[in-house]
Amino acid sequence: MSEQNEDYTERTVAADPPLAPPPSSAEHASREGVQTSLEEVWYLKEISFKPDPNGPPRRYKIITQNYNGPCSFIAICNILILREQIQILPFERMTVSYDYLSRLVAEYLLTACPDVDTSAALNIMPATRKGMDLNPLFTGSTLFRPAGQGGELKLFEQAGIKLVHGWLVDPSSPEHEVLSRTEDYDSSVNLLVEADHVTRGQLVVSEEPQSDAGEAPGQSRSDAAYTLTPDEQRKVEDALMIRNFIEHSPSQLTYYGLFTLASELEPGALVALFRNSHLSVLYKSPGEDGALYTLATDQVFLHESSVVWERLEDIDGGWSTFVDSDFVRSSPAGGDYAGHTAESALAALEQQTGALTLAESADEALARQLQAEEDEHSREAYARQAREQEQKERVERERAHAARQRAIDAAVRPKKKGDCIIM
């Protein structure tokens, strides 16, 4: 009996299914890869553009940017597309992926620069999906300091794309002397950090008055400046100038820089503009107007065929207007983002959808689809009830009309002689 029990126990244990292993890192990476792949597919928008100002317009498919799109890489590709140096085929396709575009750009670089080492530019290309490390100098619209191996600047150089910015200090301003010494953004920020350190964190603080509790009697925060060495005092004064410049140019564009771009760029130029830590396509229109326009690539304008360019008229976008392919002021069809500038429309979209995960976005899309189907069913049911009610009323009207007609016929029908009543 005991042997049978032991045998039964062994068979039972052997028959139990193994416990499911926890999700592996490979599976987690696979899910992340799927999400990344979905995020790296962008919609294409058809526009018309004149590569030759004196020639006829031609049709192009430009790449639109979603709220998580790589603006640097998309700007590079759109410039090459409008220059007809790369072409997305077939023309009827609606979307394009990073893998497809990266192959196009790599093939163009290898063909355009056969005798040049393009390894630095090709190696930096995958990093453009998450942004580019660009360090502008405040003293020139085309001046940037290379970061790391300098692959970012090599990519623009070997693609033949001019990289510009308008974050320039006015030579007549009090900040010019300081910024002409620090020159670039990174060096200026480093000086800010050093000055904040020597002031024990008093430089980068709120301007609101604070309690002096804990300080020595008779000593205020301003008295602490007198304990600094002359070199430290000079560093703090320079840092205050830098902070003032950065705080008054939050869009990374100044009016002096805007005027400099308008005067330095050649008519018909297509360049990459660094602004607001983003890259966009900048175009200077030919003719006497010579206005500056940025390509409206935000996905919120995908179906707004009249919104192609945004005129760059001020530093914060308050006076910017949208124009169509002929650079005529456009009248968007409307919607949730009517009246927005390109930047504010993208910010509104980010605020609306930025907190949603991929699964939540899919659930939201499914909910909208189900709601739309329910609304359609309701409309069909209402229309069916209306038709049935109308048919019922029509039948009743026909019956009433027939009854009246019979009564009339009976009233006017002449009586026969035999139809007399015998009393």
pLDDT at 29 (0 to 100): 46
Lowest mean pLDDT segment, chosen from 28-37, 137-146, 324-333, 365-374? 28-37
Radius of gyration of the chain (CA): 36
pLDDT at 259 (0 to 100): 96
Lowest mean pLDDT segment, chosen from 104-118, 125-139, 346-360? 346-360
pLDDT-derived band at 211, boundaries 50, 70, 90: very low
Which tokens belong to 254? 């100044």
pLDDT at 396 (0 to 100): 75
Check: CB of residue 283 under 8 Å from CB of residue 290: no
Q: How far apart are CA 110 and CA 122, in angstroms?
A: 9
ω into 90 cis (within 30 of 0): yes
pLDDT at 224 (0 to 100): 47
CA 2 to mean position of chain CA atoms: 74
- Name which residue leads in pLDDT, 120 or 256: 256
Is the predicted pLDDT of residue 329 greater than 80, yes or no? Answer: yes
Q: Give the contacts of 148 (CB within 8 A, at least 6 positions apart).
A: 133
Which tokens belong to 337? 């983002």
- Name which residue leads in pLDDT, 205 or 240: 240
pLDDT at 290 (0 to 100): 87
Average pLDDT rounded to a whole number, residues 335-356: 57
Check: CB of residue 158 under 8 Å from CB of residue 121: yes
Please give the share of the chain, as a percent, with pLDDT higher than 70: 66
Is the predicted pLDDT of residue 214 greater than 70, yes or no? Answer: no
Average pLDDT for the chain: 78
pLDDT at 38 (0 to 100): 52
245: nearest Cα among 138, 134, 133, 135:
138
- Name which residue leads in pLDDT, 192 or 393: 192
67: nearest Cα among 344, 374, 410:
344
Q: What 8-state DSSP symbol labels residue 347?
A: H
Q: How far apart are CA 295 and CA 186, in angstroms?
A: 28
Lowest mean pLDDT segment, chosen from 33-37, 285-289, 401-405? 33-37
CA angle, 377 as apex, 371 and 381 as ends, to 5°?
Answer: 145
Is the predicted pLDDT of residue 41 greater than 50, yes or no? Answer: yes
What are the backbone dihedrals phi and psi of residue 310, each rounded to the nearest 5 degrees, phi first? -120, 120
pLDDT at 11 (0 to 100): 39
pTM: 0.68
Average pLDDT rounded to a whole number, residues 171-194: 95
Is the predicted pLDDT of residue 141 greater than 70, yes or no? Answer: yes
Q: Is 41 helix (H, G, I), strand (E, B) or coil?
A: strand
pLDDT-derived band at 379, boundaries 50, 70, 90: low
Q: How far apart are CA 381 and CA 10, in angstroms?
A: 64
